[in-house]
Structure 1
Amino acid sequence: MVGMYQDLKLLSESQKVEAITRALVGVKSVNGTVGEVAVAETVESILRSLPFFQQHPDCVWTQKLPGDSLGRKNIFAFIKKKGAKKTVIYHSHIDTVGIDDFEALKEAALNPDKLAEYFKNYNEDSDIQNDALSGDWLFGRGALDMKSGDAVNLTNLLYYSEHIDELKGNLLFMGNCVEENDHNGAIAALTELERLKKEQHLSYEVAVNTDFISPKYEGDKQKYIYYGAAGKALTCFYIKGIETHVGNTYSGIDSTLVASRINSLINNNPEFVEDIPDEEILPSSCLLLRDQKDFYNVQTAKVTHLYFNTFTYKRPVFEILQQLKEAVQSDCSALVKELIARKAAYLHKLSFPAVQDDRQIKVFTFAEYLHYLQQAGIHVDKLIQGFWLKNQELDKREVGFALIDYLDKQVNDGIAKVVLFLAPPFCPHNSIKRNSHVYQKLKAALADYEQEENFKMKQFFPYLSDSSYLAIDENEDEIKKLTENFPLAGKIYPLPYDKMRALNIPAVDIGVFGKGAHTWKERVYKPYSFEFLPKLIRDFTTKIWEK
């Protein structure tokens, strides 16, 4: 990649974007592999081949993730206008999801031309076949999500480096690793953004993310521009029943039954979503439901684990937890009544005497459960500290479940219970007010092109995004309540809430356009993404720099 600029300099702008996209797609950079290092080095090599950065080599640098066993890193490039404070950030992620979904085509997953030829003859899907035959689409893993977005940012960086007279402020490029699961790259980058802001006396006016957009329905021609990011909480339920032999099934409380009820209550239920007009507000989705039996026997399952992807938009996470807790509490009370009634009917049918049935299911948030244990004389803090020393190798998602199980064994109260808590990843939600400078400039930039494209401004980017970590809408008290219900948050997912609140960088998504992200049919639409989009982003950038 040493001579990348030599390959780029005679190309048109759209050809530059395509050439960089192809170069990046050709690097296998699956999340959680050393490929993430390889693609960061490729981006760095492209940047260092540009004449501006050959003259200013210190303006390109990397940031290694602290303690990362793979040596993954973020990549930065900075173009400074003398005396300027206003800074626009172009940011994008450089990792991708895996390629297993390509199955027999895995060898071609990073080869856009081979995939295009394949889809030209693919009769099972006329839409993708027509796209391949048109020549207007580029295929391959990461072509849409989001190496074309990286390429747009790099091409615009190249443009400004060659048109310094058009530079009315500062420009910072940021390529982040580890976006596709835990967002560690963006989280680590906050330290670098804070350092640069102090050293260079910068004012971060806006961060432009080029993450992908897609049609919402067949025939949808609108291009969606987002001025905020939805958040995500992993809402978890530790469910402990009362185990019993199947021959005495009416005496127990099966944790899988409780879990099934909670899943039925919450999973894809629109009653729990926020009501925000004209926004894509998605319900919770179950990501795991698993009993904890290690082997076959004829006892009912004592413990079951359950967690949901829960999107957040405007409401504080703690309020969402409280809403879920109250709903689960009500449903568990109804379930216990049903179980008691079933047992009574069974005994009556056999002419057995009625018995006192004191079964119950207690429902706690994690913070409430700790208080419950303390009231029982359990020294919670010391136990948690000891647990962590012995369990640091656990998956981040498993830590909370294992901790609650460990604590429950100390109290050994024999009571069925549900403990609601949070686990990684947590993505804060944030958005820009409509009366803000950034919103008005974005609206004006889109108006300049309304004859060419049909734009639709939306408040919340509907997928998970690194932009979530550039600002946080929740206040200190709401963050405190959130972290109190996030077991060992400071150890397993130490988010720098203070940095997010201090930086408070408005973020917008002006993304590449395509179809099939995270599938083997992934493809980016070249005319919009490679020709039109770079100009739109530059127009918006100029408007932000202006008074």
Structure 2
Amino acid sequence: MLSLDERNLYRLLLDLVAIPSVSFTEEENRAARFIASTLGELDCFRRDPSLLRLLPVEGDRLGRSIVAALVRGAPETRRTVILTGHFDVVDASACGHLSGLAFSPEEYTRRVGELEIPEQARSDLASGEYLFGRGVSDMKSGLALEMCLLGEISRREKYPANVLFLAVPDEENSSAGMRGAVPWLLRLREEWGLDYVACLNAEPSVGGRSSPAAVYVGTIGKLMPFFLCAGREAHVGDYYDGVSSSLMLAHLAMLLEGAPETAEEHDGERFPPAACLRFRDLVENYSVTLPERAVACYNVLTTSKTPARVLEEMKEAAERALDATLERLARHGERAGSRNRFAGRVLSFAELAERARNRTDGFDSALKDFAESLPDSLDERERCVEAASFLLDLSGEKGPLIVVGFLPPYYPPRLNRRETPGELSLLRAARRLMDEAAVSGVEISLVEVFKGIMDMSYMGFQGEPSELDVLAENMPLWGSAYRFPLDDLKRLGVPIANFGPLGKDDHKNSERLHLPFYLRTLPPLFSRFVELLAEEASRPSPGGE
């Protein structure tokens, strides 16, 4: 039975973790079917199975699905709280020779000490209060909690709101699940007669300012600029006759990787700087030739910067990196007796695409045919990089040059601006929760921005639609390989919060969950928070925080 009883909650957690639902694999479909089947045992869905659905992610190459389950409030109301989370996980390769046990958390916990893990993790292991394994923190524990709460709510005679449970795939990859859920949320809102007053996620807490338990009322945004570097080919024996694209990437890394000036601040908190997520050449076959093309992409976290501003900053970095590359080659080449000098330039992807279009008859068809020829095994980012390289060929442009654009995914920042009645009611609910928890000796902090990136970015769009023009123009295959539901997001606009378990070291071999807080402290608090969100949404806003 789905309930918040410790044993039931723990058993469901183990069952969910046992499914190795790594992003972009068939196991995500198995996880969705298991979640739907488990919820299907509730009496409310036996009476009305139409309220429990597997919703296909439109255009998904793996045929993945979203799980949606609605429990009606009583008395009847349109007021609806969304409970959401993702059922995909990152792979277990970090777990080394124990990777095969990472989805069997009890056994993995018994043996994780064999691995090289941080001292803090070893101390937590010795305490006996932590469960280790892939997905125990991020975020099978949160999903199990939401499912068990849904079971309890379904048996109550009175409840102040409808509760819509929404479980999605692919959060760890490109958030195809939540992006695909957005149009479904609009359709279900009309079909089921719902008003979405809040969306609550249960990602693990990454620590508040004054206490480890935290309610987050906003989430950070993410852009991923890419740099396609084109050098000049030359035999390694004639080194100074060419320009290595790898050297261009190296200078970019020295400028951008971890650079403090790439980090944003909000509400007194400084967020992580730019970090390179991919760095490789585009050479198909081995030869003793300087690599002519290479690509790198960087994670850039945002709370206020627009795509246009980030693009401009990245172009400036590319110009500096290219200048440093060519100056180094000239200086070293002169010492080796070479008089070669190269002039470089930086293009935005939009500029490259325009040049390719001007030189190519049937440009749209050529690009479409190329995109369709790409292997299904390539993910969205790889497909976009291949398309950019193809357009570089069509353009006739020669290096040394750097093309700057964006790769998917894009996560818009979503903040609580204290502007709408929904935002204000959510804040009141959070503060009531904090006050009630303090009475029982539990300290919960309020944090403005969740900095770990999450699907809550897609509960609306707070910028101007024109801000995305630069993003669309500078992302290869925008609208085909990558779909961003801007029009639907503008119609959604749901206030967000995140309140979840205490986890540590997500994505690492020492990923772990604090069991006492998860099994005993969190369930009544989480349940109460959902009630408070519903109660506060039903009250007129006093007009301020």
The residue aligned with 1:191 is: 183
CA distance 1:380–1:269, change in 2 (3 Å): farther
SS of corresponding position for 1:45: helix
The residue aligned with 1:242 is: 232
Which runs of structure 2 are paired with 1:164-243 in the superposition (5 Å)?
164-165=157-158, 167-215=159-207, 221-243=211-233
The residue aligned with 2:151 is: 158
2: CA distance, partners of 1:487 / 1:22: 41
CA distance 1:344–1:377, change in 2 (3 Å): farther
The residue aligned with 2:543 is: none
1:332 to 314, 322, 326: 322
CA deviations 1:225-269 (Å, max 9, x no partner) are 211122222211111112233444334322211111111111111
* Contact 1:122/1:129, CA 8 A, preserved across alignment: no
CA distance 1:85–1:319, change in 2 (3 Å): same
The residue aligned with 2:405 is: 421
1: CA distance, partners of 2:332 / 2:128: 65
The residue aligned with 1:388 is: 371
Instruction: Please tell me the residue identity of whatever aligns with 1:299.
Output: T
1: CA distance, partners of 2:108 / 2:383: 41
Instruction: Please tell me the residue identity of whatever aligns with 2:348.
Output: T
2: CA distance, partners of 1:335 / 1:421: 20
User: Are 2:516 and 1:516 aligned?
Assistant: no
CA distance 1:104–1:444, change in 2 (3 Å): same
1:282 to 265, 269, 272: 272
1:269 to 234, 254, 259: 259
For the aligned residue pairs, the C-alpha RMSD in angstroms reads 2.8
CA distance 1:395–1:140, change in 2 (3 Å): closer
2:385 to 393, 401, 406: 401
CA deviations 1:174-215 (Å, max 9, x no partner) are 111122212121111112111111123322111100011245
The residue aligned with 2:108 is: 115
CA distance 1:454–1:329, change in 2 (3 Å): same
1: CA distance, partners of 2:373 / 2:22: 31
Shift of the alpha carbon at 1:521?
A: 2.5
* Contact 1:244/1:252, CA 8 A, preserved across alignment: yes
Instruction: Please tell me the residue identity of whatever aligns with 2:436.
Output: D
SS of corresponding position for 2:438: coil
CA distance 1:304–1:118, change in 2 (3 Å): closer
CA distance 1:131–1:247, change in 2 (3 Å): closer
The residue aligned with 1:363 is: 346
1: CA distance, partners of 2:521 / 2:327: 62
CA distance 1:423–1:362, change in 2 (3 Å): same
SS of corresponding position for 1:505: coil
1: CA distance, partners of 2:217 / 2:428: 11
1: CA distance, partners of 2:207 / 2:60: 37
CA distance 1:117–1:330, change in 2 (3 Å): closer
Shift of the alpha carbon at 1:481?
A: 1.5
The residue aligned with 1:482 is: 471
2: CA distance, partners of 1:188 / 1:104: 36
SS of corresponding position for 2:480: helix
Shift of the alpha carbon at 1:293?
A: 3.0
1: CA distance, partners of 2:446 / 2:30: 36
The residue aligned with 1:442 is: 430
The residue aligned with 1:78 is: 70
* Contact 2:80/2:197, CA 8 A, preserved across alignment: yes
Identity of aligned residues (%): 26
CA distance 1:263–1:91, change in 2 (3 Å): same
CA distance 1:535–1:240, change in 2 (3 Å): same
CA distance 1:59–1:377, change in 2 (3 Å): closer
The residue aligned with 2:9 is: 17
1: CA distance, partners of 2:470 / 2:215: 32
My pick for the range that moved more, 533-542 or 417-426, is 533-542
* Contact 1:61/1:77, CA 8 A, preserved across alignment: yes
1: CA distance, partners of 2:116 / 2:509: 15
Instruction: Please tell me the residue identity of whatever aligns with 1:306.
Output: A
The residue aligned with 1:494 is: 483
Shift of the alpha carbon at 1:482?
A: 0.9
SS of corresponding position for 2:506: coil
Instruction: Flag the structure with larger Rg.
Output: 1
Instruction: Please tell me the residue identity of whatever aligns with 1:22.
Output: L
SS of corresponding position for 1:36: helix
* Contact 1:238/1:418, CA 8 A, preserved across alignment: yes
CA distance 1:105–1:370, change in 2 (3 Å): closer
CA distance 1:245–1:170, change in 2 (3 Å): same
1: CA distance, partners of 2:362 / 2:30: 48
Shift of the alpha carbon at 1:509?
A: 1.0
Shift of the alpha carbon at 1:488?
A: 0.9
SS of corresponding position for 1:77: strand
The residue aligned with 2:95 is: 102
CA deviations 1:254-288 (Å, max 9, x no partner) are 22111111111111111122232433511111122
The residue aligned with 1:259 is: 249
TM-score of the superposed pair, with normalisation by structure 2: 0.88
Name structure 1 gaps, 5 residues minimum: none
CA distance 1:290–1:127, change in 2 (3 Å): closer
CA deviations 1:490-518 (Å, max 9, x no partner) are 11111211111211222211011122322
CA distance 1:99–1:405, change in 2 (3 Å): closer
Name structure 2 gaps, 5 residues minimum: 540-545
CA distance 1:390–1:120, change in 2 (3 Å): closer
CA distance 1:247–1:97, change in 2 (3 Å): closer
* Contact 1:144/1:515, CA 8 A, preserved across alignment: yes
1: CA distance, partners of 2:334 / 2:269: 48
CA deviations 1:8-46 (Å, max 9, x no partner) are 56xx63333222212222333222333222222221222
CA distance 1:373–1:176, change in 2 (3 Å): closer
User: Are 2:140 and 1:147 aligned?
Assistant: yes
Shift of the alpha carbon at 1:119?
A: 5.4
* Contact 1:378/1:411, CA 8 A, preserved across alignment: no
SS of corresponding position for 1:207: strand
CA deviations 1:43-71 (Å, max 9, x no partner) are 12221222333333222111123354544
